Structure 1
Amino acid sequence: MASPKFQGWLGKTPESVNGKMEWGEFEPKKWTEDDVDIEISHCGICGSDLHMLKSGWGPTPYPCVVGHEIVGRAVRVGNNVKHVKVGDRVGVGAQARSCQKSTCHECSNDMPSYCGNELINTYGSIYPKDEGKSYGGYADYNRTNGGFVVKIPDGLDSAVAAPMLCGGITMYSPLKQNGCGPGKTVGIVGVGGLGHFGVLFAKALGADRVVGISRKSDKRDDALKLGADEYIATGEEEDWETKHARTLDLIISTVSSEKMPLEGYLRLLKVKGTLIQVGAPDGGNLPRINAFTLLLSGIKIGGSAVGSPREISEMLQLAADKKIKSWVQERPLKDANQAIIDMEDGKARFRYVLVNENYGHH
């Protein structure tokens, strides 16, 4: 099949984050027989999209089409891709390629999101060897390496699946890797786009108790509806760190602020507990940590990137089996500019998903 016409919402300057993306054509990466072309039906809006549009994590190679929570239909499949066929409903998360070499420790141990040789993001990355640039999902089509294209299980709605491909896996992976399950109590800091997945998946993985942690109490009802057993409003509850000290085995923090009460969160951990940071502040700075906080409770602090395609498939299957539903609000792709403004203003409860009105009409 000939290449479809690639069009999407182009961010051309840091100003584009203020609702100034422009619809236009773009040139996808050069086609290889390892690639899959996807006609996009749905794309979730992720906080990373906003960071990238405004060059918040370093200079963005404009023009850039953001969006890495992509669901659609495979319309062209390279000869080397065996697990996907034309017509399959598929998804792409935040990563488009790694080196995939058998000599690479990360790639050969199912950790491609940590590959040190080649790390291509779904948008805003430059491919080696003049293959071009990666463009994301606020568009009609996407081209991505087949190794990072996953099939969406039947029984999982496309709009529900889309935000799981980055937001969901960003929470599922550290929960799973750090032993979330029966017998464990888990805290989720920040009940928002990421945090709401933390509550859903911690419960689905069988944690005994899940605690939502946020500054204000306005998310309490949502957290409990999502399945949390308890809620701590750190900005409103007196002495919360003492009252809840040493009650949690594992905390996943989605908050990205230099001002978050990190020391307080660490005091909530049981002896030998773990805090995993997944929120990424512009500039990357975290609050200071006192060494004695770590030493006297024997606690660990770590970080986590997105999970592998294998983990994404495992998470989607769990979501299908347990009927886990992302909390999404669908927005038409043509209103993407307004949707990112609303996202920046914190209006999403909890994820916006762009629905492509052109889908199936090409």
Structure 2
Amino acid sequence: MAENTNYEFKGWVGEDPSAAEGKMQWKTFEPKPWEETDVDIKITHSGICGSDIHTISSGWGPADYPCVVGHEIVGVAVRVGSQAEGGIKVGDVVGVGAQNDSCLGRDGPCDACANGSEQYCNSNVGTYNSKHRNGGKSMGGYALYHRCPSHFVIKIPDGLAPESAAPMLCGGVTVYSPLKHFGCGPGKKVGVVGVGGLGHFAVLFAKALGADEVVGISRKADKKDDALALGCDDYIATAEDKDWETKNKSRFDLIISTVSSPKVPFKEYIDMLRMDGTMVQVGAPEEALPLHAFSLIPKRKRLAGSMIGSPSDIRAMFQLAADKNVKPWVEKRPMSEANQAIIDFNAGKPRFRYVLVN
């Protein structure tokens, strides 16, 4: 199939923090300057992630406007550089997650890149709101086209629908990676704090990895039916069960916390860990979380963080999803309705992920 380079990079551009209130503008933008290690992708699907809102609102710090967000990108490769990695061909269905580049050892030894943990490279380039190594700005997936270094372009396996694959590229791998790293599997009991966009993926992947017990944890009981339908074995509503702390003390080997608010019973969550248990914080509040040292010191508990996933993590996650028929709860929205979709996202309406479709 011949390459066609007669296309224009157009997308939803945020010019200032009001973009997060549904005031993105559809216009042409400049992608990173082309390199022969790159791939151009005609976007078919782009998931909406909480990170998009934190970024274009400047909630995590001043954004580098103009900014096009979106880092759960699926589409068709339309241009493939002569030095591209991964055997990608024009016409392949591919995806790009939250990372666009890293040093890959080009700046000298890098432990993160050398051991396949590129997301922890000190020279991590985000898929948007970041600067590429050649000086170009990274622009994300609320758009018609995306340009990405090929090392971070992942082929979508057969049998995995693009609308399912898209939100896995950030939301999915953000919980798959720590579940896998911290030993989720047979014999393990897993708690998931926050059954939402991230949390519902944690439930799905914990079940797919074979955990003995997966329990949804939230303030209210209004998500109980959803949690059980996703595959949870039990559900804890902390605001409605007065004895939840006592009943669940030392219950879990692993807890994945997806909450993005500091106003949570953090100490009580940690109390639910067994000896040598681990709580992994993947939700990223804009304010500091409360931490009490004596929540951790007895019973040698760990509080860990985890960030997205490497290309190898994404490939393994995709294969697991295809093999185990993992299907996220997705609502498709037209790309033309991106502004309304982020307003609805902010209002907590998705159950559990929105995916923009060109």
TM-score range, shorter chain: over 0.9
Q: Which residue of structure 1 lines up, in the alignment, with residue 112 of structure 2?
A: 106
What are structure 2's unaligned runs of at least 5 residues? none
Give distance in 2, aligned partners of 1:335 and 1:311.
31
- Which structure 1 segments of 5+ residues have no match? 357-362
Among residues 204, 207, 213, which one is paired with 2:211 in the alignment?
207
TM-score of the pair, normalised by structure 2: 0.97
- Partner SS state of residue 166, structure 1: helix
Number of the residue aligned with 2:324: 322
Deviations 1:45-104 (A, max 9, x none): 000000011011111011111000000000001111132111000000000000011621
User: What is the aligned counterpart of 1:93 among 93, 97, 103?
Assistant: 97
Deviation at 1:129? Answer: 4.1
* Residue from 10, 16, 19 that aligns with 2:19: 16
* Deviant stretches of 4+, over 4 Å: none
Q: Distance in 2 between matches of 1:112 and 1:256?
A: 24
Instruction: Note if 1:115 corresponds to 2:117.
Output: no
SS in 2 for 1:341: helix
Question: Which residue is equivalent to 1:334?
Answer: 336
Cross-structure match for 1:344: 346
When residues 3 and 56 of structure 1 are mapped into structure 2, their CA distance, relative to the original with a 3 A threshold, is farther
**2:294 is matched with which residue: 292, 295, 298?**
292
Distance in 2 (alpha carbons) for counterparts of 1:3 and 1:233? 54
Q: Which amino acid aligns with 1:294?
A: L
Q: Deviations over 1:6-52 (max 9, x none)?
A: 00000111001011000000000000011100000000000000001
Match of 2:90, SS state, is coil
SS of the equivalent of 1:67 reads coil
Q: CA deviation at 1:210?
A: 0.3
Aligned residue identity for 1:197: F
2:281 corresponds, among 252, 258, 277, to 277
- Identity score, percent: 61
Residue type at the aligned position of 2:121:
C
Q: Counterpart of 1:139?
A: 143
Q: Is the 8 A contact 2:270 2:279 kept in 1?
A: yes
* TM alignment of 1:238-317, pairs within 5 A: 238-283=242-287, 285-287=288-290, 289-317=291-319
Matches within 5 A, 1:29-178: 29-83=32-86, 84-101=88-105, 103-116=109-122, 118-130=123-135, 132-178=136-182
Q: Identify which of 238, 244, 252 aligns with 1:234.
A: 238
Deviations 1:121-168 (A, max 9, x none): 0011022443x1000000000001100000000111100110000000
1:187 match: secondary structure: strand
**CA distance in 2 between partners of 1:180 and 1:2 (Å):** 45
- CA distance in 2 between counterparts of 1:155 and 1:127 reads 33
Secondary structure class of the residue paired with 2:202: helix
Distance 2:85 2:125 in 1: 21
Q: Which amino acid letter does the alignment assign opposite residue 129 of structure 2?
A: G
Which secondary structure does the structure 2 equivalent of 1:212 belong to?
strand
User: Distance in 2 between the 1:41 and 1:129 partners?
Assistant: 27
Corresponding residue SS for 1:302: strand
- Alpha-carbon displacement from aligned partner over 1:199-254 (angstroms, at most 9, x marks no partner): 00000000000010001100100000000100000111112111110010000000
Specify the code of the residue in structure 2 equivalent to 1:328: V
Task: Quote how far apart the aligned CAs of 1:258 are.
Answer: 1.4
Counterpart of 1:107 in structure 2: which amino acid?
Answer: C
Deviations 1:315-353 (A, max 9, x none): 011101111101000000000000000000000000000
CA apart distance, 1:187: 0.4
Number of equivalences: 352
Aligned residues: CA RMSD: 0.9
For residue 3 of structure 1, report the CA deviation from its aligned partner.
Answer: 5.5
Question: What is the TM-score when the length of structure 1 is the normalising length?
Answer: 0.96
